[in-house]
Amino acid sequence: MDRITIVGLGLIGGSIGLALKAAKLHSVEVVGHDVTRSALGDAKKRGAVDRTEGSLREALKGADLVVLAVPVLAIREVLQDAAPLLKEGAVVTDTGSTKALVMEWARELLPPHISFVGGHPLAGKETPGIEAAEATLFRGAVYALCPSPSAEADAVKVVVWLVENILGSRPFFVDPHEHDGLVAGISHLPIILSSALVSCTTQSPSWREMSKLAANGYRDISRLAAGDPTMNRDICLSNRESLARWIDACINEMQAYRRLILEEGPGLGERFNKVWEERARWMLEREGKVKEQGLDIPSAGDRITSLFFGEWVTKRTRQMMEGPPRPAEPKK
């Protein structure tokens, strides 16, 4: 491979460029293109690319691998413009947060000699732009891959090489529709929940006073509402049906919590126990501890006393963090 072109030099494109440059692939030239002039200069200054091109035509010249890291709804236009400019046999991948529409556009717009392998790194942050880019942004993260049915096997290998060897991520092959259904619940619904919290509280007549009391909990849950508005809009508009289903499920759940709170029975405590267990299980599985160390999470049905539960939490948290034991809490 002689040349890799990144289209879109923001957070994700810039981070991919930095990772490529950090890999010191001496024989590979990394070229960058963006519609924003300042992003070109900044990408060069940060060392994310060897060369920048303001013209898409120039940027794509001779590119063996093209990475599209533009907002989801801009991908269609870029694919359309790029289609006649791509080198015969080039491999194209994207980083868009939704996949079904992107795969449809690629099938519709790219010539048959181009292999398209859809991609979505499940890593990132709220701050857009190259300033926030990091070479290590994707390290250890899952990276969803959706090869188009016509993609050559070697093209898939090239994208897997980028994902594994350059970005340090773990490839996860998935059907594009399945991908969108899955990420709607764990990635896109959280954006809506965070945004709904901010709109519901800031529209309250008491917000001026309330805002003075808002602390870490509010900051944590509102974090996703601070994401780039264009990106959030594009994600929602390109995954409407799945997201609408998750919003409905969430409204039902909110109604259930409302009922449990008003009825003052044991149901609310049981519900919080259940979600506590589910989250603990997810955290341990995420750290790979459940399988590796044979850890088991007690269920609410185990009738664990609150004292034992407290010890269990401390022990598991310590194991999870693999840090030194914490000093004992001072006695009250």
Binding site for ligand NAP (CB under 6 A): 7-13, 33-36, 39, 69-72, 74, 77-78, 95-97, 120-121, 124-125, 128-129, 228, 231, 235
Output the smallest distance, CB 91 to ligand NAP, in A: 18
Q: Where are the beta strands (DSSP E) in the chain?
A: 3-7, 29-33, 51-52, 65-68, 91-94, 115-121, 142-147, 170-173
Q: How far is the CB of 56 from ligand NAP (least distance, A)?
A: 7
Query: Which of residues 58 and 152 has its CB atom nearest to ligand NAP in the complex?
Result: 58
Q: How far is the CB of 60 from ligand NAP (least distance, A)?
A: 11
CB nearer to ligand NAP: give 21 or 120.
120
Q: CB within 8 A of 143, min separation 6: which ones?
A: 119, 120, 121, 122, 163, 167, 169, 170, 171, 172
State which residue, 75 or 91, has the beta carbon closest to ligand NAP: 75
**Shorter beta-carbon distance to ligand NAP: residue 82 or 155:** 82
- 24, with CB counted inside 10 A (0-12, 13-18, 19+), is exposed
Q: Give the pairing of strands 51-52 and 29-33.
A: parallel
Q: Please list the residues that pair with 142 across neighbouring strands.
A: 170
Three-state DSSP class for 171?
Answer: strand
Do 54 and 31 contact (CB within 8 A), yes or no? no
CB of 249 to ligand NAP, least distance (A): 23
- Nearer Cβ to ligand NAP (70/174): 70
Shortest distance in whole angstroms from residue 81 CB to ligand NAP: 8
Q: Across the beta sheet with 91-94, what order do the strands follow?
A: 51-52, 29-33, 3-7, 65-68, 91-94, 115-121, 142-147, 170-173
Q: Which C-beta is closer to ligand NAP: that of 136 or that of 255? A: 136
Complex with ligand NAP: residue 118 or 147, whichever CB lies closer: 118
Q: How far is the CB of 228 from ligand NAP (least distance, A)?
A: 5
* Dist CA 254 CA 195 (whole Å): 16
Neighbours of 89 (CB within 10 A): 12
Closer of 148 and 238 to ligand NAP (Cβ): 238
CA nearest neighbour of 248 among 179, 202, 221, 256? 256
CA 42 to chain CA centroid, Å, is 23
Helix or strand (DSSP H, E) at 205: none
Residue 238 CB, nearest approach to ligand NAP (Å)? 9
